[in-house]
Structure formats: C-alpha cells, structure tokens
C-alpha cells in the first residue's frame, strides 16, 4: 500500500539557494501576520508583543527557564497545574540565550520560536523537495505558513521548535542518516510529549529498512552462492544507534518526572491529569462536538467540526494512496491521533495539529501543478484570512 523505501539520495537537495524561494515566501506570510496582529492589537490598546511572548504556555515556559521546575497552581476545583507538564528543551534554550545575551527570558523565547519556525519551514521543504521536487516543497512550506493557527509559529511556544526537529529527523530517515535521525528524535522527545511520534517513525523505518536489506542480501547470496565471501554484509549499527538514541529524550524526562513526584513511571500521566489532559480515544472530543447540537447557532459549529475531522481523515487516506514513505505516515498518523483523541481542551487541538505537516503534501502537489500566478493569488488570499484570524484569535481567548 505504501512505499516503504527510505533510500539515500545521491546528492542532498536541501541547499540554501534551492530553499530560498520557500523561506522568502514563508517570511512574507509571517510578516503579514505580525503586521495585522500589531494593527489589530493597537486598536484594542493591547501589546502584540505581549500576546506573542507572555500569555498562556509561554508564561509557563519562561517560569521554568527562570526558576526551574517545582511551581504549581492549585485551583478551587482541586486540579493541580504543575509546570512539570512542560518538557524542558524550550526553557533550556531560553535560559541559555538569556545567559549569553541581554535578552529577557520572554525575549529569548520569542527569538527561539522565530528561528525554529524558519528551521521548521526549511525542514518541511527538504522533505517535500526530496520526495516531489522543489516546487512542491515551496508549496508545502506556504501551506504550513497560512494555516489558520499559523500565528502560533511566531509565538514563544514549542510547536515551531518541535516541528523543526521532527521534520529534519524525518528527512534524515529518508536520506539514510540514522544517527542524525535518532539524535533529532531525542531532542524532539525533550520538546513535547508527541515526540513519541518521531521515535515511532524512526523505529518503524529502521526495522523495515533492515528487514528489506536482509531480504535483498539473502537473494543476492543465493544468486552468487559460489562466491559468498564477496557478497555485501548488512551493517545494522547506524540503524541500531539511531533506534537507541531516539527514545532517550522522552523516556528520560518522563522517568525523571516520575522520580521527582515519587509516582514512578506513571508520574507524568498524573501530572497531565492535574491539567485534565489524557488519552481517552476521542471520547471527550466527541462529547464536545455532540454538545454543539443543543442549539441552532452552535450546531453549525458542530457540523464544521465534523467536516474538519473528516477532511483530516481524507487527507491521511490520500497520503496513503499517494504512497508516502512509511515513516511520514506513521508520524502524521500518530500526531493526528494524539491531537484528536486527547481529552485536552478543544481550543488546543488546532495548534496540536501544526506539526502534522505530511498531511499538507497532497495539497502541495495539487498546488504545484497550477501556474505560478494562480498559486500566488490563492496563497495570498488565504494568508490574509489567516493573518486576520490570528489577530482576532490572540486578541480574544487565544490558544490555550
């Protein structure tokens, strides 16, 4: 059903000159979003920079960077919001940048997020370019930039950092750089809980690649049995090293939290439960959607949510039918499943889906077949809508 091969490219095609159009287009979309946000916020006597760096999760990250772990908030209903729920790589980078520069922790978070967003765009281009060519790569980057919640890519959040690490880890897998893939998966696992999706992609690709190679060697040895000593020998060590490295980040942090809380290996799940986060197979999300049909105006939102979920599933099916490499399918499937089937607050789900960029590749291929002028018009229109929506979103309830 899918192309399981992850063959090494003869010449890597992610050179700076090749990716320049994608990064320039990405920068234009992000600048547009920031300008619209600044104008909208000024009209409401709010600081756009504060909205990007000092609200919701960004405050928790900067607090970890400044004071370390151990801070918690006990709510009246008994819930305990502990900063142990936030993985450490982003606050580590904030602390490092603060230590070597005059930037505040919030400023450092903004800089890390901005740099990571461009690294993520480059990684998305590298994956799409490797599979489908530079034009599809540019379209994939632009589609990721103009997502309705694309403004999160400019916030002091961990989504951009995680997407960058995930995209480059997947690119390393596709080009046979197993140790690099494992090291980047390790860092992704220190960034967000969904880092397990990157680990699963690396492990799946390594196992399938090794099994395929053994089968090919067996066939070759049967063909030249009289000269067995001259036949190639499988070299599993790079793959094994990548597989060993990949889970160390996520596993290390989860086990440390368990030790810190005294709750053992399941301690991190208890921390998440204090935030009312967990994995319920989509039950809470289904109840939320069903609750929208209690009145007419909200019923339209319920229909929209059902259509949105159906479109996500359809995109994944198209990815399978277009024979995306198995590691991309594993990664995108797990990111999507964890986002939709978690019991977290509904408003978080759109940004939790941001790292699932392989779902955009079928749309990128379709865009790549259009004339450049039409692509520019379509992307420009969507970019304006995305910028307006992002400004409205952050000046309202915003992303939790």
Nearest to 203 by CA among 234, 184, 175, 182: 182
Burial code (b: 16+ CB inside 10 Å, e: under 16) for 120-151 equals bbbbbbbbbbbbbebbbbbbbbbbbbbbebbb
Burial code (b: 16+ CB inside 10 Å, e: under 16) for 333-364 equals bbbbbbbbbbbbeeebbbbbbbbbbbbbbbeb
* Structure tokens that stand for 214 in this block: 């053994």
- Would you say 40 and 359 are in contact if contact means Cβ atoms under 8 Å apart? no
CA distances for 346 relative to 143, 156, 342, 383, angstroms: 23, 21, 9, 24
Q: What's the pLDDT band for 14 if we cut at 50, 70, 90?
A: low
Give the bridge partners for 74, in sequence order.
Answer: 80
Give the bridge partners for 72, in sequence order.
Answer: 82
* Structure tokens that stand for 23 in this block: 């990064």
Predicted local confidence at residue 298, as pLDDT: 76
CA distances for 387 relative to 111, 124, 145, 152, 274, angstroms: 20, 21, 10, 11, 34
pLDDT above 90 for 93: yes
Predicted local confidence at residue 170, as pLDDT: 98
Share of the chain above pLDDT 70, in %: 90
Alpha carbon 21 to its chain centroid, in Å, reads 22
pLDDT in tens, 294-309: 877 878 878 888 898 8
Q: What's the pLDDT band for 218 if we cut at 50, 70, 90?
A: low
CA distances for 145 relative to 140, 304, 383, angstroms: 9, 22, 8
What is the rounded CA–CA span in Å between residue 230 and residue 221? 9
pLDDT in tens, 33-45: 999 999 999 999 9
Ranges 67-71, 202-206, 342-346: which has the least confidence: 342-346
Helix H or strand E segment including 82:
strand 80-82
pLDDT above 60 for 139: yes
Nearest to 383 by CA among 141, 49, 53, 164: 141
Is 295 exposed, middle or buried (CB count within 10 Å of its CB: 0-12, 13-18, 19+)?
exposed
pLDDT in tens, 274-301: 988 888 888 788 888 888 888 778 788 7
- Would you say 126 and 137 are in contact if contact means Cβ atoms under 8 Å apart? yes
Q: What's the pLDDT band for 106 if we cut at 50, 70, 90?
A: very high
Task: Calculate the dihedral angle through the C-alpha atoms of 305, 338, 185, 131, rounding to the nearest 10 degrees.
Answer: -40
pTM: 0.92
Residue/partner pairs of 134-138 with CB below 8 Å, 24 or more apart: 134/13, 134/18, 134/21, 135/368, 136/361, 136/364, 136/365, 136/367, 136/368, 137/19, 137/22, 137/364, 138/21, 138/22, 138/25, 138/368
């Amino acid at each position: 059903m899918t192309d399981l091969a992850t063959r090494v490219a003869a010449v890597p095609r992610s050179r700076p000159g090749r990716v320049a159009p994608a990064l320039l287009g990405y920068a234009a979309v992000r600048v547009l979003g920031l300008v619209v946000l600044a104008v909208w916020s000024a009209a409401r006597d709010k600081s756009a920079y504060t909205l990007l760096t000092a609200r919701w999760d960004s405050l928790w990250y900067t607090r970890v960077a400044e004071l370390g772990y151990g801070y918690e908030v006990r709510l009246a209903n008994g819930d305990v919001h502990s900063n142990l729920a936030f993985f450490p790589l982003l606050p580590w980078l904030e602390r490092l940048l603060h230590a070597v520069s005059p930037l505040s922790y919030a400023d450092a978070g903004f800089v890390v997020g901005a740099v990571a967003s461009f690294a993520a765009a480059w990684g998305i281009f590298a994956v799409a370019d490797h599979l489908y060519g530079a034009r599809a790569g540019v379209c994939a980057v632009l589609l990721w930039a103009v997502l309705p919640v694309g403004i999160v890519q400019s916030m002091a959040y961990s989504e951009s950092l995680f997407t960058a690490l995930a995209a480059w880890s997947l690119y390393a897998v596709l080009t046979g750089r197993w140790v690099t893939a494992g090291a980047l998966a390790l860092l992704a696992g220190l960034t967000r809980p969904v880092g397990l999706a990157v680990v699963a992609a690396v492990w799946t690709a390594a196992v399938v690649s090794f099994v395929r190679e053994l089968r090919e060697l067996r066939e070759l040895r049967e063909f030249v049995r009289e000269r067995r000593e001259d036949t190639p020998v499988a070299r599993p060590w790079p793959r094994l090293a990548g597989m060993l490295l990949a889970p160390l980040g996520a596993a290390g942090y989860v086990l440390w939290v368990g030790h810190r809380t005294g709750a053992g290996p399941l301690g991190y799940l208890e921390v998440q439960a204090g935030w009312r986060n967990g994995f319920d197979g989509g039950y809470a999300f289904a109840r939320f959607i069903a609750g929208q049909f209690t009145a007419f105006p909200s019923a339209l939102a319920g229909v929209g949510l059902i259509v949105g979920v159906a479109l996500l599933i359809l995109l994944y099916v198209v990815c399978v039918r277009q024979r995306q490499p198995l590691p991309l399918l594993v990664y995108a499937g797990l990111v999507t499943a964890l986002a939709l089937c978690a019991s977290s607050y509904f408003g978080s789900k759109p940004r939790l889906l941001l790292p699932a960029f392989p779902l955009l590749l079928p749309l990128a291929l379709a865009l790549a077949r259009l004339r450049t002028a039409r692509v520019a018009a379509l992307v420009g229109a969507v970019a304006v809508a995305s910028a307006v929506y992002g400004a409205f979103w952050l000046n309202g309830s915003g992303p939790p």
